[in-house]
Structure 1
Amino acid sequence: MKYLFTAATLFAASVVADKRDLCSDGSVDDGGNWYCQAVKAITYTGVGGQGSYNRVTNMNSDADPGSQCSSESKGYSGNLSPLDEEVSMHFRGPLQLKQFAVYTPSSTSKRSERRSAHVRRHAHGHGHGHQHQQREADPALGDVVTATIDGVVQTWLNNWSGQETSAPVASSSSAESSPTSTVDTHENWLPHLFGGGHGGHGGHDSSEETSASSTAAPSSSSESSPSESSSSSSSSGGWGRQAYYDSSSTTAEGLVFLNHMGGTGSGTFDYTFGNSLAYSTSDGMGGAANATTLDDCTIPSDGEVIIMSDKKCSGDDCGYYRPDTVAHHGFDGPSKAFFFEFQMPISGETAASKYDPVDMPAIWMLNAQIPRTLQYGQAECSCWESGCGEFDIFEVLAPGDKRCKSTLHGNIAGGDSDYIKRPTDQPIKAAMVLDNNNIHIKVLEDSVDFGTSMDYETIQDICGSILTQSKTVSLFDLLG
């Protein structure tokens, strides 16, 4: 949200939009993908919203084509929606995963939510038209405010709760920003197994990409400001570790490794839907009968490993999922943090065609309903196309490329053209924090420990340190 303060407020300021990404500093069109500046951190604002998607309710491989899957509309609203639902984490090679951890706020770090009212309408095919509406609102405690003070763009956390103190603060007024629209076109992913992919990654057809936010020529006048629609009601309490993996000791706590090899060892296979999820073998490439810890290995270009929680789905507590698949819960909640230590070595492979991509590693997040039904295959058998959510965290878009881009797919969508350098020679540590309706990606110092908990200040430092754009920090407002 954008806020307008009167001259009587604590800061005499007028609201302006901060610079959106760093593309005004230079950009290049490389094979249909736009790249701007190398950065160490990226913040997406305005992530969540109000809308609906088609939730799969039945899959029948024996039914007539076109009627093998049924669904119903599911509405959502709130911070990070629909990515506040359970999510799964996906890793495509060549990639070495050294450590992985998931954190969520402890019960002492309570949150109060203010639901936003922006709406996005789904258009036909892969094209998505956006319509956003922002309601009038005063900034809540913990909200981010971006304003120009004496000609300088500044961003700060609102520390005024609105309550009177011994020195009363003058009241503020809010201004409704006019609706804006952007257009995002989903990529045509490599057809994998049986039909096209939904939430899968297999290379971009540059002739099909027309996203105004990530694939059209960047505009130097494009602007944005951080927006948040929830506030933390407590500055105490830490974030507890819910899952952890360490390759050096083959430690796995609170998580399982899966892949798309159903029908071998576990899961199922049929000629209608193809392979379901299966427990992964220790090298990531085969199906296992039971949960197996991933070795300290390199996942190859044609490998995809999926991490979910170690809690199995029971009854209808995961919603509908494909019969006989390996079904586990994902990682739930409107506030969650994922920590990674990984390397993406150059494999030196050469692709026979764009439909056989190699040396294009990626780390991405899906609404967990997608792999539990059909990640690759018929569109009506997945909620992906109708907008249940995907976020590409580190994705290489061309064979051998050394730039990792990020993109949000869904009913609110867009991608930052600034990028993080691919860690080819040695591992890096990084964090992705979903909180306060923002997604924060940050490369961390090597000394950061993925301990059993993260204190509140550590998480806030990760988020707060990348709320102001700089030469190494890119801000991307999805409502801009």
Structure 2
Amino acid sequence: MKQTLLFAVFSLPFVFGKTAGELCRGTAALSKDGNWYCSEVWAITYRNISQAGTYNRTTHIDPRTGLCGHERIDYPGTGPLTPLFGEVSMHLRGPMNVSQLAVYQLPSETQTMQKRDTVPFYNRQSTLKQRDRSNDTNVSSEQPQSFSAHDASLLNQGTGDTNTSCSRLTVTSTITVTDCKTSSTTKPLPNTMSICPPLTCVPTPEPLTTSNDTSSPISYCTCTNPASVVQPFEQQAQVVATSAPIPNSNVLFKRDDFHAAAARWSRVAYYTSSAAAQATGFSFLANLGDPQKSGTFDYAFGNSLGYVTPDGGRVASESLPFDGTLETSEREIAVFSDKECDHDCPYWRPDAISHYGWSGSSKAFIIEFQMDHYQNRGTDQGLISDAPAWWFLNAAIPRILQYGNDRNNIPCSCWSTGCGEFDAFEVLGNGEERAKSTIHRQGNLQGGDSNYFKRPVGGKMKFAVVWHYPHITALVLDDDFDFGTDLSNEQVQRLVRYDEDSWVHSLFAIGD
């Protein structure tokens, strides 16, 4: 999450119900400068986040040269490549005490995850040793492999086979590097989809070269046509919880959608601080990678994701349960599922700890937390102090590089080109007690509602973020809300229902 103050007013259409501006004018006082300031609300719905667009996906990272390579992704309005409908990771920044945390999904969107191997707490090392022995005796092009700096250098060399036309290649077996005029097949690149046909890559910032390096920057820019990989997901897109009166949503139901609407949302992950070791479905990581314990470190890109100790402060050698406390804003953790990445996972940073996030257009994240005031303890960290936050990223971002650019000052992850972030509950200033929400998708429709949630100081709050295609709703829950093993679709509908006469539920229109 970029710790940037975003108070800009976006010129997006506010045409349904009471707009964010109307909510401000109706519930806040007029200031001396003649402006109306926004008010506390209990719910914010981001209406219709389903639009097509483009971003640059990372194809490789070379710590020897300090460079990253990318390929252009064109995505439809929904699918595994679509920002925020694809995989997301969850992120927490202190000061914060987390009492409960849960993830819910429709059964049809959890089947793939349920088939993946789970590495429970405390026995990961023995499991990985067994897996390594199995991989040593059964090596194939479909298995993930470590990707060295030498492998990355081969991207410039290729095999000498150059093509002016493009044919469909086997996913994960080959990568085609192109200058968008010709293409050449190269050494197999693990965890990366093949690309076809050549397209122009999404613009990125101008490369910067150092004074002692006058050579032309290396361009690792490739392009992809996602049509062959997004179609299955589009057929699975679930339309649920849309009975809320959000006018003119233009959502068409298919026959299968009626069955989906009657389904119960299953709890696929649950954490409680009262019995943290028994929490299931989660892995807790941070950008503290250490090759001696978990994850990796190099001087080009710094620390990768690695497992962390229960307090989130130090790297750990295996997956451990969270103790529920992030003492200051200097403590930040990433929360993924307990499913380790395999050959179906997009490319991730070599030697990093990589787990699956949660994908789909129907998913709910529910938390119980408290955010009391505590200042940072460090002296020169350059971090904002006493500013807790809860947010979601396209899971590819932290698996690559959450913060930082490559040697040419080109962002290494897909964040800057718009692969997606949703700030659900973000305090933006030191000691501030208002939490904002924002959708970041550079190059696509994005924005943040001007109203805010009240920071829970001195007491706990239950809070939810619900994806209900094609919308996202963030809302404060009743104190007696139960983190049960499932949610009925009727419960979800009640949570996200929008009343155009409500003064505490704001509607922010992203798309028409």
| CA distance 1:442–1:272, change in 2 (3 Å) | same
Q: Map 1:361-376 to 2 at 5 A.
A: 361-376=388-403
User: 2:234 corresponds to which residue?
Assistant: none
| 8 Å Cα contact 1:227-1:438 kept in structure 2 | no
Could you tell me which amino acid in structure 2 is paired with residue 436 of structure 1? Y
| 8 Å Cα contact 1:48-1:83 kept in structure 2 | no
User: 1:52 corresponds to which residue?
Assistant: 54
| 8 Å Cα contact 1:43-1:438 kept in structure 2 | yes
Q: CA deviation at 1:78?
A: 2.5
Unaligned runs of 5+ in 2: 1-13, 112-200, 207-238
| CA distance 1:298–1:143, change in 2 (3 Å) | closer
Q: CA deviation at 1:79?
A: 3.8
User: 2:180 corresponds to which residue?
Assistant: none
Q: Is residue 473 from structure 1 mapped to residue 505 from structure 2 by the alignment?
A: yes
| CA distance 1:469–1:274, change in 2 (3 Å) | farther
Q: Is residue 282 from structure 1 mapped to residue 310 from structure 2 by the alignment?
A: yes
User: 2:478 corresponds to which residue?
Assistant: 445
Could you tell me which amino acid in structure 1 is paired with residue 53 of structure 2? G
Q: Map 1:67-216 to 2 at 5 A.
A: 68-79=67-78, 81-107=82-108, 156=245
Unaligned runs of 5+ in 1: 1-14, 111-120, 127-140, 146-154, 158-224
Aligned-partner Cα distance in 2 for 1:470–1:123? 42
The correspondence for 1:431, drawn from 442, 446, 464, is 464
Could you tell me which amino acid in structure 1 is paired with residue 104 of structure 2? Y
User: Which of the pair is proportionally richer in helix?
Assistant: 2
- Find the residue that maps to 1:249 and give its secondary structure: helix
Q: CA deviation at 1:296?
A: 3.4
User: 1:227 corresponds to which residue?
Assistant: 249
Q: CA deviation at 1:48?
A: 2.0
Q: Map 1:284-323 to 2 at 5 A.
A: 284-315=312-343, 317-323=344-350
Could you tell me which amino acid in structure 1 is paired with residue 438 of structure 2? T
Could you tell me which amino acid in structure 2 is paired with residue 51 of structure 1? G
Aligned-partner Cα distance in 2 for 1:34–1:377? 37
Q: Map 1:354-365 to 2 at 5 A.
A: 355-365=382-392
- Find the residue that maps to 2:451 and give its secondary structure: strand
Q: Deviations over 1:8-44 (max 9, x none)?
A: xxxxxxx9643321233347899xx995010111111
Aligned-partner Cα distance in 2 for 1:108–1:233? 15
Aligned-partner Cα distance in 2 for 1:144–1:405? 24
User: 1:137 corresponds to which residue?
Assistant: none
Q: CA deviation at 1:95?
A: 0.8
Q: CA deviation at 1:255?
A: 1.0
Aligned-partner Cα distance in 2 for 1:462–1:265? 42
Aligned-partner Cα distance in 2 for 1:351–1:288? 22
Q: Deviations over 1:145-186 (max 9, x none)?
A: 9xxxxxxxxx837xxxxxxxxxxxxxxxxxxxxxxxxxxxxx
| 8 Å Cα contact 1:257-1:291 kept in structure 2 | yes
Could you tell me which amino acid in structure 2 is paired with residue 23 of structure 1? C
- Find the residue that maps to 2:432 and give its secondary structure: coil
Could you tell me which amino acid in structure 1 is paired with residue 282 of structure 2? L
User: 1:459 corresponds to which residue?
Assistant: 492
Aligned-partner Cα distance in 2 for 1:257–1:382? 20
Q: CA deviation at 1:350?
A: 9.0
Q: Deviations over 1:323-371 (max 9, x none)?
A: 0000000011111000110111111559979943110100000000000
User: Which of the pair is proportionally richer in strand?
Assistant: 1
Could you tell me which amino acid in structure 2 is paired with residue 289 of structure 1? S
| 8 Å Cα contact 1:261-1:278 kept in structure 2 | yes
- Find the residue that maps to 2:336 and give its secondary structure: strand
- Find the residue that maps to 2:511 and give its secondary structure: coil
Aligned-partner Cα distance in 2 for 1:399–1:442? 23
Give the root-mean-square deviation of aligned CA atoms. 3.2
User: 2:44 corresponds to which residue?
Assistant: 42
Q: Deviations over 1:291-310 (max 9, x none)?
A: 00011323421011111000
Q: Deviations over 1:237-285 (max 9, x none)?
A: 2000111111111132111000111016210000000000000111111
Aligned-partner Cα distance in 2 for 1:329–1:108? 14
| CA distance 1:368–1:109, change in 2 (3 Å) | closer
Could you tell me which amino acid in structure 2 is paired with residue 432 of structure 1? V
Q: CA deviation at 1:97?
A: 1.1
Aligned-partner Cα distance in 2 for 1:387–1:442? 25
Aligned-partner Cα distance in 1 for 2:488–2:241? 20
User: 1:418 corresponds to which residue?
Assistant: 451
- Find the residue that maps to 2:491 and give its secondary structure: helix
The correspondence for 1:396, drawn from 421, 427, 440, is 427
Q: Deviations over 1:305-327 (max 9, x none)?
A: 11100000112x11100000000
Aligned-partner Cα distance in 1 for 2:202–2:17? 28
- Find the residue that maps to 1:258 and give its secondary structure: strand
The correspondence for 1:260, drawn from 284, 287, 296, is 287
Aligned length: 360
| 8 Å Cα contact 1:28-1:36 kept in structure 2 | no
| CA distance 1:412–1:233, change in 2 (3 Å) | same
User: 1:324 corresponds to which residue?
Assistant: 351
Could you tell me which amino acid in structure 1 is paired with residue 50 of structure 2? G
| CA distance 1:309–1:108, change in 2 (3 Å) | closer
- Find the residue that maps to 1:292 and give its secondary structure: coil
Q: Deviations over 1:433-453 (max 9, x none)?
A: 001211111111111111111
Aligned-partner Cα distance in 1 for 2:435–2:250? 26
Q: Deviations over 1:58-106 (max 9, x none)?
A: 100111x5xx110101121124832111110000010111111000112
| 8 Å Cα contact 1:469-1:475 kept in structure 2 | no
Q: CA deviation at 1:382?
A: 0.3
Could you tell me which amino acid in structure 1 is paired with residue 88 of structure 2? V
| CA distance 1:238–1:256, change in 2 (3 Å) | same
Aligned-partner Cα distance in 1 for 2:293–2:64? 23
| 8 Å Cα contact 1:343-1:423 kept in structure 2 | yes
Q: Is residue 245 from structure 1 mapped to residue 271 from structure 2 by the alignment?
A: yes
Aligned-partner Cα distance in 2 for 1:125–1:309? 33
Q: CA deviation at 1:107?
A: 3.5
Q: Deviations over 1:98-118 (max 9, x none)?
A: 1110001124999xxxxxxxx
Aligned-partner Cα distance in 1 for 2:436–2:386? 15
Q: Is residue 19 from structure 1 mapped to residue 18 from structure 2 by the alignment?
A: yes
Could you tell me which amino acid in structure 2 is paired with residue 243 of structure 1? A
Aligned-partner Cα distance in 2 for 1:109–1:318? 15
Q: TM-score, normalised by structure 2?
A: 0.65
Aligned-partner Cα distance in 1 for 2:30–2:376? 25
| CA distance 1:23–1:83, change in 2 (3 Å) | same
User: 1:161 corresponds to which residue?
Assistant: none
| 8 Å Cα contact 2:241-2:468 kept in structure 1 | no
The correspondence for 2:64, drawn from 62, 65, 72, is 62
| 8 Å Cα contact 1:34-1:417 kept in structure 2 | no
Aligned-partner Cα distance in 1 for 2:371–2:330? 14
